[in-house]
Amino acid sequence: MKCPYCGDVNDRVIDSREGQGGDVIRRRRECLACHRRFTSYERIEEAPAMVVKKDGRRELFDRRKLMDGLLKSCSKRPVSPRALEDLVDEISVMVAEAPDREMSTEAIGRRVMDGLRELDKVAYVRFASVYRRFEDVEEFLDELRSLVGPGAAKKREGR
Same domain, 61 and 139: yes
Percent of the chain, pLDDT > 90?
43
Same domain, 92 and 112: yes
Burial class (CB in 10 A: 0-12, 13-18, 19+), 116: buried
Same domain, 58 and 94: yes
Question: Which CA distances in Å does 91 have to 46, 86, 134, 147, 157?
Answer: 17, 9, 24, 22, 38
Of 102, 109, 108, which Cα lies nearest the Cα of 133?
109
The count of structural domains within the chain is: 2
Angle 81-96/63-73 helices, nearest 10 degrees? 140
- Say which range, 7-11, 70-74, 110-114, 140-144, has the weakest mean pLDDT: 140-144
Which tens digit of pLDDT belongs to each residue from 123-141?
A: 888 887 776 666 666 666 7
Query: What's the domain range around 34?
Result: 11-43
Same domain, 34 and 56: no
**Average pLDDT for 33-40:** 96
Instruction: Give the integer Cα–Cα distance in Å for 103 and 145.
Output: 29
Same domain, 110 and 89: yes
Same domain, 36 and 112: no
Same domain, 15 and 55: no
In a domain, 15, yes or no: yes
Same domain, 68 and 106: yes
pTM, two decimals, is 0.58
In a domain, 64, yes or no: yes
In a domain, 158, yes or no: no
Same domain, 20 and 58: no
Same domain, 132 and 72: yes
